[in-house]
Amino acid sequence: MIILNPKKKKYEHLDEQSREIMLKTIDFFENKGKIKLKEDFHERVWYSDFLEFVKKEKIFSTLLTPAKYGNGNTRWDTFRNCEFNDILGFYGLCYWYTWQVTILGLGPIWMSDNEEIKKKTAKLLEDGGIFAFGLSEKEHGADLYSSDMALTPLGDGKYVADGGKYYIGNANKAGLVSTFGKNSETGDYVFFAVDSQHENYECIKNVCASQNYVAQYALNGYPITEADILSQGREAWDTSLNTINVGKFNLGWASIGICSHAFYEAMDHAANRNLFGKYVTEFTHIRQLFVDAYTRLVAMKLFAYRNSDYMRSASAEDRRYLLYNPMTKMKVTTQGEEVINLLWDVIAAKGFEKDMFFEMAAQDIRALPKLEGTVHVNMALIIKFMPNYFFNPDEFPEISKMDGLDNDDFLFNQGPTKGLGKIQFHDYNIAYNSIDLPNINILKEQIEVFKELLLKAPPDEEQQKDIDFLLILGELFTLVAYGQLIIENAKFYNIEDDLLDQIFDFIVRDFSKFALQLYSKTVSADTQMELCMKMIKKPKVNKDRYNRVWEKYVYTLKGEYEMSP
């Protein structure tokens, strides 16, 4: 049961405490019911009922307090956090969002050497506190170099903070807001913690019309002491980027949860609607839309789970996760948009109706690729890994399914963020050569032509300045790594050959689509265009396989889940 069904999933694979958290969270939302869920969405109600539930059950405390700072029952376990991500996304982006920005706010704290503030944070979490990540600014966005937040030394370990932050989730109620700025005298970067309820903290407004409180806030002569300092200099810079590594891959999981709920709604609507003497699910094009949506959703989840394995097994010597993380932020979230687009073509005007979860999903799914750095930013990062990925592999021990009860210590001790271009990967051919399926074999042919293009006709000086040209190259590269991790994870989740080959049916088509886009660029050279044409291939048509996927995996979701009213 790869796609979440909250009414049937029992989480037997988790330990008792973790299982109880998941099941209680599902019960909270099912008892709340869809009518109230949608009313709160339309009225933009602050989700105090959810936060009260989190406080009562000590959920954020249990899931987000590293073992060293907890009461013996806590750990930071990325695998189980993925499961919780999935549930929150399934019921609504706002509930996921308050969890997500709490994770980001905690990053600079757990990464710091400030033991007293860590103990204070653990207590705040136990008391139901939420946290915020004060990074971006109104005039500079996420351009950290240009931060105007100033920390001015007064002597004797005292400082005063002045400046504003913009688009900061939870910053209306956060127990602590991890705030990034610069020392006004030295220009050094600094992270410090402030209290959102302090008299020198001004919460100006919610900049979004939603249930989330996405704050603009200002510090006006806010008093800071050494006890509030989290990190300084290069360490503060690294902390900002490493926090992003820890937290922002969660965006892919929000997309997965949203798409899963929307899929059940779309299937039930189509399967029970009779037009022109046929049920909608009998129409050929509708089945194709559903099969594509389902296989894309399964692929999203397989990739995101596998990303978690690489995060949990990471070390200073193995930083492969730094490729897969931005892919989960970028690729999985854009695939989420694609899934909703496909399903919306099925249910059409029904997707606008106010009592449908889909209305909420269609709005919220757009946010995820655009939160925490655009697709362009993440793709620019991904491209840095391409040379070593294709042409300079190293040997690593095989990573198993990382679902143990370990605390993920390395995530808060990642070290320097420089040297991304030097990171090496294992040979992607190990995965691709482990499976003999028609569409995987076709993709392997496409990959070889792409590598030929990179060697024989790499981007020239003009093309390297054309961001759109590089983005398309990045899309092609991304599909290779995306397919690799899906293959690796197929064995851990017992994905049958029919479903796996159907997944690669759409990957072959997507590869051909991006090859055509590269061919069509005005700056494409003749040799590049010739090789692009060789990359364009049709997936292997197998009607029996397609029908089996429809019958066994897709259509069987009819009537399987409906949220309690």
Residues 366 and 480 in one domain: yes
| Vertex 460 angle, CA 512 and 466, to 5° | 70
Range of the domain at 88: 16-129
Cα 433 from Cα 429, distance rounded (Å): 6
Q: Which of 46, 63, 216, 33 is nearest to 128 (CA)?
A: 63
Within a domain: residue 521?
Answer: yes
Cα 444 from Cα 440, distance rounded (Å): 6
Residues 442 and 311 in one domain: yes
Domain count, the chain: 3
Residues 331 and 478 in one domain: yes
Within a domain: residue 405?
Answer: no
CB 213 within 8 A of CB 173: yes
Residues 454 and 546 in one domain: yes
Within a domain: residue 241?
Answer: no
Within a domain: residue 563?
Answer: no
Kindly give the confidence (pLDDT) of every residue in the chain, 565 residues in length, as a single tens digit, with 9 standing for 90 and above: 799 999 999 999 999 999 999 999 999 999 999 999 999 999 999 999 999 999 999 999 999 999 999 999 999 999 999 999 999 999 999 999 999 999 999 999 999 999 999 999 999 999 999 999 999 998 887 777 788 999 999 999 999 999 999 999 999 999 999 999 999 999 999 999 999 999 999 999 999 999 999 999 999 999 999 999 999 999 999 999 999 989 988 999 999 999 999 999 999 999 999 999 999 999 999 999 999 999 999 999 999 999 999 999 999 999 999 999 999 999 999 999 999 999 999 999 999 999 999 999 999 999 998 875 666 777 778 889 999 999 999 999 999 999 999 999 999 999 998 888 899 999 999 999 999 999 999 999 999 999 999 999 999 999 988 889 999 999 999 999 999 999 999 999 999 999 999 999 999 999 999 999 999 999 999 999 999 999 999 999 999 999 999 999 999 999 999 999 9
Residues 176 and 125 in one domain: no
Helix (H, G, I), strand (E, B) or coil at 331: helix
HSE value, Cβ hemisphere, 13 Å, CA-based, for 377: 14
Q: Which of 351, 347, 298 is nearest to 505 (CA)?
A: 298
CB 532 within 8 A of CB 453: yes
Q: Provide the token pair at 281.
A: 């699910």
Domain boundary, last residue among 73, 95, 129: 129
Q: Provide the token pair at 233.
A: 């200099």
DSSP class of residue 198 equals S
Residues 6+ apart with CB under 8 A from 102: 60, 64, 130, 131, 132, 170
CB 491 within 8 A of CB 400: no
CB 308 within 8 A of CB 320: no
Q: Which of 51, 74, 59 is nearest to 23 (CA)?
A: 59
Q: What is the pTM of this model?
A: 0.97
Which residue matches tokens 């207590």? 123
CB 206 within 8 A of CB 215: yes
Q: How far is CA 197 from the centre of its chain?
A: 30
Helix (H, G, I), strand (E, B) or coil at 48: helix
CATH code, domain carrying 256: 1.20.140.10
Parallel, antiparallel or unpaired: strands 158-169 and 214-225: antiparallel
Within a domain: residue 415?
Answer: no
Within a domain: residue 27?
Answer: yes
CB 459 within 8 A of CB 406: no
Residues 526 and 513 in one domain: yes
Name residue 525's beta-bridge partners. Answer: none
Q: How far is CA 239 from CA 61, 76, 115, 412, in A?
A: 22, 17, 16, 9
The reported pLDDT for the residue numbered 142 is 74
Residues 6+ apart with CB under 8 A from 36: none
Q: Provide the token pair at 19.
A: 């299982």
| Vertex 307 angle, CA 303 and 308, to 5° | 120
Q: How far is CA 34 from CA 118, 356, 452, 454, in A?
A: 38, 8, 52, 51
Residues 219 and 286 in one domain: no
- Helices 78-91 and 93-110, axial angle in degrees (round to 10): 150
Residues 333 and 451 in one domain: yes
Cα 99 from Cα 79, distance rounded (Å): 15
Residues 107 and 138 in one domain: no
Helix, strand and coil percent figures for the chain, each rounded to 5: 60, 10, 30
Within a domain: residue 266?
Answer: yes
Which residue matches tokens 């590293």? 66
Domain boundary, last residue among 129, 162, 183: 129
Residues 540 and 499 in one domain: yes
Residues 211 and 323 in one domain: no
Within a domain: residue 38?
Answer: yes
CATH code, domain carrying 88: 1.10.540
Phi then psi dihedrals of residue 395, to 5 deg: -105, 135
CB 449 within 8 A of CB 476: no
Q: How far is CA 418 from CA 26, 178, 236, in A?
A: 41, 22, 13
Cα 351 from Cα 340, distance rounded (Å): 10
One DSSP character per residue, 360-394 reads HHHHHTTTGGGTTS-HHHHHHHHHTTHHHHHH---
Backbone φ/ψ region at 348: left (φ over 0), alpha (ψ -120 to 50), beta = left
The reported pLDDT for the residue numbered 398 is 95
CB 533 within 8 A of CB 526: no
Residues 163 and 82 in one domain: no
Cα 368 from Cα 349, distance rounded (Å): 23
Domain boundary, last residue among 232, 263, 292: 232
CATH code, domain carrying 154: 2.40.110.10
